């Protein structure tokens, strides 16, 4: 006997579905579990490969081009998903991450970089979850919302402090969502990946000041994160809300925030 993750009949919004990241495999796993996927990314070029993969496997997927950092572009997303497929049952907010140019000491960090980190890794997840919950409450849908954090939010985040703080704020707000929306049957959880080789993190190269570039760090496959997200979206997780699940192959248990040895890093004189 097996117990499958079954998302048949569900419509799931996945934000950030680029094929070379965590979101592309996540969207494919959610589709393979039976859900219709509404995929969001910055450009049609980023959407197309994941949409093509899902359709080639016999799944259903609709793409929405939107910059998640721009409220004017995110405001219509939930309504568009509902208009296209008649309902919305779940959300996976995967889009996020550090930019290559934001890895620096806190005393050198410009406010513009701080704000950009907070918008991409905290604010937009609030806007999308709020809009989805409004719809679910109004339509009596017992949905599931999953936000993607980071092990950088669990302890310290040397050289990427605003990112770690943004993800910590996001998981704190996700717990509050769980309590406020529990009476409506809406569950909200956070999945915290460790070091996942994606096109973005691989582009950082081997610079030791960028966590993901460290060769000795234990890696986790994007699909492992996608499986955890699909689990939270499914009824197998019906008793779980307001929780944090770390998917890092043991990295944080060993190294806390990711193994940066600050003594080995360059300092400005
Ligand atoms: N890769 C890792 O090692 C790692 C570690 C910890 C946490 N995470 C988290 O996992 C998530 C995915 O990371 P990833 O490595 O797959 O990143 P990625 O950059 O490969 O993928 C992110 C996707 O989101 C999209 N996106 C980014 N900004 C957007 C915007 N403003 N509007 C619309 N779409 C946008 C990108 O185009 C891309 O398709 C992020 O939230 C990241 O913080 C990743």
- Tell which residue, 211, 13, 27, has the closest CA to residue 131: 13
- Look at residue 207 in the predicted model and tell me its pLDDT: 61
pLDDT tens, position by position, 130-183: 999 999 999 999 999 999 999 999 989 999 999 999 999 999 999 999 999 999
- What is the position in ligand 1's atom list of the atom closest to the CA of 148? 41
Q: Is the pLDDT of residue 267 over 90?
A: no
- What is the position in ligand 1's atom list of the atom closest to the CA of 69? 31
Q: Which helix (H) or strand (E) element contains residue 37?
A: strand 36-41
In a domain, 107, yes or no: yes
- Look at residue 175 in the predicted model and tell me its pLDDT: 98
- Mutating to test ligand 1, I would choose from 48, 50, 95 the residue with most ligand atoms within 8 A of its C-beta, which is 95
Sign of the dihedral defined by the CA atoms of residues 169, 173, 116, 257, in that order: positive
Give Cα 267 to chain centroid, integer Å: 32
Identify which has the larger pLDDT, 251 or 26: 26
Measure the CA–CA gap between 30 and 23, rounded to whole angstroms. Answer: 10
What DSSP line would sit under 175-187, residue for residue?
HHHHHHHGGGT-E
* Percent share of the chain, pLDDT over 90: 82
Instruction: Report the pLDDT averaged over residues 210-220.
Output: 65
CB distance 177 to 145 below 8 Å: yes
Q: Is the pLDDT of residue 23 over 50?
A: yes
In a domain, 17, yes or no: yes
Residue 48, ligand 1, Cβ within 6 A: no
- Look at residue 258 in the predicted model and tell me its pLDDT: 47
Residue 94, ligand 1, Cβ within 6 A: yes
CB distance 22 to 198 below 8 Å: yes
Give Cα 77 to chain centroid, integer Å: 16
Cα–Cα distances in Å, from 200 out to 95, 168, 210?
12, 21, 12
Instruction: Report the pLDDT averaged over residues 8-35.
Output: 97
Identify which has the larger pLDDT, 258 or 123: 123
Strands of the sheet containing 36-41, edge to edge, are: 61-65, 36-41, 11-15, 90-93, 144-148, 187-193, 244-247
Domain count, the chain: 1
Residue 97 Cα to ligand 1 middle (Å): 5
Protein residue with its CA nearest to atom 41 in ligand 1: 96
In a domain, 220, yes or no: yes
In a domain, 260, yes or no: no
Structure confidence at residue 257 as a pLDDT band (50, 70, 90):
very low
Instruction: Report the pLDDT averaged over residues 64-89.
Output: 97
Place of tokens 């939270």: 232
186: domain CATH number is 3.40.50.720
Residue 193, ligand 1, Cβ within 6 A: yes
Residue 200, ligand 1, Cβ within 6 A: yes
Q: Is the pLDDT of residue 1 over 90?
A: no
Residue 220, ligand 1, Cβ within 6 A: no
In a domain, 264, yes or no: no
Q: Is the pLDDT of residue 214 over 80?
A: no
In a domain, 269, yes or no: no
3-state SS, residue 90: strand
Instruction: Report the pLDDT averaged over residues 35-61.
Output: 98
Q: Model's pTM, two decimal places? A: 0.94
Residue 21, ligand 1, Cβ within 6 A: yes
Which range is least confidently modeled, 110-119, 153-162, 199-208? 199-208
Protein residue with its CA nearest to atom 39 in ligand 1: 18
CB atoms within 10 A of CB 223: 15
In a domain, 240, yes or no: yes
Which range is least confidently modeled, 10-14, 120-124, 203-207? 203-207
Domain containing 75: what range? 11-253
Identify which has the larger pLDDT, 178 or 269: 178
Residue 87 Cα to ligand 1 middle (Å): 26
- Average pLDDT of the chain is 92
- For the record, the structure tokens of 119 come out as 């918008």
Residue 166 Cα to ligand 1 middle (Å): 14
Q: Is the pLDDT of residue 212 over 50?
A: no
In a domain, 128, yes or no: yes
- Look at residue 206 in the predicted model and tell me its pLDDT: 59
């Amino acid at each position: 006997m097996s117990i499958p993750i079954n998302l048949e009949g569900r419509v799931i919004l996945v934000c950030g579905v680029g094929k070379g990241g965590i979101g592309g495999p996540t969207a494919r796993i959610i589709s393979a579990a039976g859900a219709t996927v509404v995929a969001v990314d910055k450009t049609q070029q980023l959407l197309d490969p994941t949409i093509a993969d899902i359709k080639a496997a016999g799944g259903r997927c609709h793409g929405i081009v939107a910059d998640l950092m721009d409220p004017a572009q995110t405001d219509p997303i939930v309504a568009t998903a509902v208009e296209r497929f008649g309902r919305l049952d779940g959300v996976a907010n995967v889009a996020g991450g550090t930019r290559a140019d934001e890895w620096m000491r806190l005393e050198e960090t410009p406010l513009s970089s701080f704000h950009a980190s907070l918008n991409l890794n905290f604010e937009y997840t609030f806007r999308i979850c709020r809009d989805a919950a409004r719809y679910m409450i109004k339509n009596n849908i017992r949905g599931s919302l999953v936000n993607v954090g980071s092990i950088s939010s669990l302890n310290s985040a040397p050289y990427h402090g605003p990112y770690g703080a943004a993800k910590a704020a996001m998981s704190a707000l996700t717990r509050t969502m769980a309590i406020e929306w529990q009476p409506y049957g809406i569950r909200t959880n956070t999945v915290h990946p460790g070091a996942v080789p994606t096109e973005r993190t691989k582009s950082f190269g081997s610079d030791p000041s960028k966590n993901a570039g460290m060769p000795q760090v234990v890696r986790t496959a994007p699909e492992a994160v996608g499986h955890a997200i699909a689990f939270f979206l499914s009824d197998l997780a019906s008793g779980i809300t307001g929780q944090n699940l770390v998917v890092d192959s043991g990295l944080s248990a060993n190294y806390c925030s990711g193994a940066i040895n600050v003594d080995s890093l360059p300092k400005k004189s």
